[in-house]
Amino acid sequence: MSRLFRFDPMWESHPLRDRYDVVVIGAGVHGLATAYYLARRGITDVAVLEKGYLGSGNSGRNTAILRANYRTPEAIPFYAESLALYEELSDDLDYNLLFSQQGHLTLAHTEASINGLRVRAEANRVMGVRSRIIGPAEIGRMVPALDTSSAPRYPIMAALYHAPGGIIRHDAVVWGYAHQASQLGVEVHAHTEVLDLGLQAGRIATVHTNRGTIKTGAVVNATSGWCSLIAAMAGVELPIVSHPLQACVTEPMEPLLDKVIVSANLHVYVNQTPRGEFVIGAEIDPYPSYHLGSTLPTLKSMAFHALELFPDLHQVKVLRQWGGICDMTPDYSPIIDEHPEVGGFFMDVGWGTYGFKAGPAGGKCLAELIATGRTPELIRPFRLTRFHENRLVGEKASAAVSH
């Protein structure tokens, strides 16, 4: 309680030194989590570099939805671990991340998508993740604001109910990790842009920034949106195409919705924050781009589809619209690995639309890999070489919108 009235800096500022054991690029949830779990393992000579302000990338642009109800035996245990870490994270970081574990519903409006949900429900059940298919009557009881009647053009036919899913305060996750990492000795450097990476004998040797050059043996590429550009600095080509993804938020309204609602068929997902705002997200834009700007067609489509689900929201007003950049791999699954040829170049990239959910587990596994040199079982399926070995992960089939 006493902390309530103290306003100590959450993270210290430091001059940038010219040597660190590990340099993490990107102070989002992945980069900071990696630094934090490294520090917990005793590796504290770590600098986290951030081009903008902390959490200015996708960590502050996502719709803060957490879930573990994935489709494949590779993804399910990984995201289940991440969700388990999130459940304990407020306690662990001594910072209330406002995790509202309210439950998550993925709606199906066609028979084919019911089958798709059943694939997930079955795989989840076999692997110990709580998910089940429920019908319109139960959906209606759970979320009275949803139009579960047969009136809509594509009536709701069923849903995958995932009780442990929910929403969290995404910025707080970033700040909490930054705070604890900083407490353990990690240096967090905002407004420090990486301009180039230097190799020596096939290994990472230097990081050139707008504030000077750093010598290091290990670099973590924990950027999103621009991860292929950072990789290119190390001479690494990633099988990634980046697409914008947009979302919008409304003015705060009295509570109406306390479940995360996702409709892949309608390309939209909706939740209501504890402050009362409705957060509405779209699927990725159909074209690749690094442009962060918002577009009108996407805003209109988000509104249109949100109203198909919640007709009563038609008078609710949108306050802001924004975009983020998603790094899509061919199988919609991440690359989390040390590069097989460029020693010391660690990648935690290609998270597509799932990056925020994966932060804690991604950071923890990568920290283990860096610290021990052994790849943890959980991230073995997400190695870079799978694209050459034709061992893709079947998460793409889940649907384009699966938040």
Partner 1 sequence: MQRLDPKPGELLDRSRRVSFRFDGKTCEAHPGDTVASALLAAGVSIFSRSFKYHRPRGLLCVSGNCPNCLMNVNGTPNVRTCMQPVQDGDEVKSQHCWPSPRWDLLSLIERLDALMPVGFYYKTLIRPRLMWRLAEPVIRRLAGLGSLKHSNGKPPHYEHQHQHTEVAVAGGGATGMAAALAAAEAGAQVVLVESESELGGRLRSQSGPVVDPDTGAAVPGFELARGWARKVLDHPGIRVLTGSLAFGAYEGRLLSIARGNRLIHLRYDQLVAATGNHEYPLLFAGNDQPGVMLGSGVRKLLNLYRVRPGTRAAVVVADDEGLELALELHDAGVELSVVVDRRSDPSASPAAGRLADLGVHHLRASHPVAAQGRRRVEALRVATGPAEGVSNRQRVATYSCDLVCLCSPWSPAIELPRQEGGKARFDDCTNQHVCASLPAHVHAAGHLEGTRDLVSLLRQGRTAGLRAAAAVRPLGGDAARRLERLDRMDRQLREEARSGKAREEIPFPRPSPGGEKAFVCLCEDVTDKDVANAVQEGFREMELLKRYTTATMGPCQGKMCQMLLAGACARETGRTLHETGRTTSRPPVAPVSLGVLAGPHHHPVKLTPLHERHEAAGAKQMAMGEWMRPFSYGKPEEEWRAVRERVGVIDVSTLGKLEVQGRDAGKLLDLVYTHHFSNLKPGRIRYGVLCGEDGIILDDGTVSRLADDHFYITTTTGNISFVEQWMDWWAVVSGFCAHVTEITANFAAVNLAGPRARTVLSRLTGLDLSNESFRYMRCRTATVAGVPARLLRIGFVGETGWEIHVPASYGAYLWDTLLEAGADQGIVPFGVEAQRILRLEKKHFIVGQDTDALSNPIESNMGWVLKMDKPDFIGRQALRKARKEGAHNRLVGFVTSRRVQEGTAVVRDRQPVGRVTSARWIPHQDRCIGLAWVPDEDSADGSPILISHEGSLLPGRVHAAPFYDPKGARLRS
Residues 260-279 that bind partner 1 (CB under 8 A): 274-276
How far apart are alpha carbons 81 and 129 in whole angstroms? 10
Among 3, 137, 201, 374, binds partner 1 (CB under 8 A): 3
Please pick, from the candidates 42, 137, 296, 373, the single residue that binds partner 1 as defined by CB under 8 A: 296
Residue 311 has what DSSP assignment? G
CA torsion, ordered 389, 393, 399, 402, to nearest 10 deg: -130
Q: In the bound complex, what is the minimum distance in angstroms from residue 202's beta carbon to partner 1? A: 26
Place of tokens 């993925």: 106
Q: Binding of partner 1 at residue 237 (CB under 8 A)?
A: no
Among candidate residues 225, 176, 213, 184, the one with its CA nearest the CA of residue 26: 225
Q: Which two tokens stand for residue 21?
A: 């054991």
Segment contacting partner 1 (CB under 8 A): 35-43, 172-180, 207-215, 351-359? 172-180
* Residue of 25, 27, 222, 313 that binds partner 1 (CB under 8 A): 313
Q: Quick one: 24 exposed, middle or buried, by C-beta within 10 A (0-12, 13-18, 19+)?
A: buried
Residue 268's Cβ-count burial label (10 Å; 0-12, 13-18, 19+) is: buried
Please report how close the Cβ of residue 18 comes to partner 1 at its closest, in angstroms: 24
Check if the beta carbon of residue 59 is closer than 8 Å to that of residue 114.
Answer: no
Looking at 62-70, 314-322, 334-342, 357-365, which segment touches partner 1 (CB under 8 A)? 314-322
Q: If binding means CB under 8 A, how many residues of this protein chain bind partner 1?
A: 96
Q: Is 299 in the site for partner 1 (CB under 8 A)?
A: yes
294 near partner 1, judged by CB under 8 A? yes
CA atoms within 13 A on the CB side of 162: 34
Candidate ranges 125-133, 199-207, 213-221, 378-386; the one touching partner 1 (CB under 8 A)? 125-133
Tell which one of 17, 18, 19, 115 touches partner 1 (CB under 8 A). 115
Rounded to whole angstroms, how far apart are CA atoms 384 and 339?
7
What distance in Å separates the CA atoms of residue 161 and residue 314, rounded to the nearest whole number?
26
Q: In this chain, which of 172, 231, 326, 367 binds partner 1, going by CB under 8 A? A: 172
Question: Would you give the binding string for partner 1 spanning residues 128-167, x where CB under 8 A is met?
Answer: -----------------x-------xx-------------
Output 94 or 196, the one with its CB closest to partner 1: 94
The single residue among 119, 232, 241, 371 that binds partner 1, judged by CB under 8 A, is 119
- Of the pair 212, 255, the CB lying nearest partner 1 is at 255
State in angstroms the smallest separation of the CB of 340 from partner 1. Answer: 18
Residue 195 vs 304, nearer CB to partner 1:
304
88 three-state secondary structure: helix
Cα–Cα distance, 316 to 250 (Å, whole number): 7
374 binds partner 1 (CB under 8 A): no
From 202, 203, 212, 319, residue interacting with partner 1 (rule: CB under 8 A): 319
Annotate each residue in 331-370 with x if it binds partner 1 (CB under 8 A) or - if it does not, as one string. xx--------------------------------------
Q: Quote the least distance from Cβ 263 to partner 1, whole Å.
A: 14
Show the binding pattern over residues 199-218: x = contacts partner 1 (CB under 8 A), - = does not.
--------------------
Query: In this structure, what token pair is assigned to residue 107?
Result: 């709606």
Please name the amino acid found at residue 36: Y
Go through 329-346 and write b for each residue having 16 or more CB atoms within 10 A of its CB, e for each that does not: bebbbbbbbbbeebbbbb
Task: Give whichever of 203 and 320 is closer to partner 1, judged by the CB atom.
Answer: 320
Nearer to partner 1, 81 or 348 (CB): 81
**Token duo for residue 267:** 């390309």
Give me 169's structure tokens. Answer: 């305060």
Exactly one of 254, 287, 373, 374 binds partner 1 (CB under 8 A); which one?
A: 254
Q: Are strands 65-66 and 194-200 parallel, antiparallel or unpaired?
A: unpaired
Q: φ and ψ at 50, to 5 degrees?
A: -135, 125
Quick one: 70 or 346, whose CB is closer to partner 1?
A: 70
Sign of the CA dihedral 145, 244, 30, 363? positive
Check binding of 70 to partner 1 (CB under 8 A): no
Question: Nearest to residue 230, comparing CAs of 401, 28, 390, 395?
Answer: 28
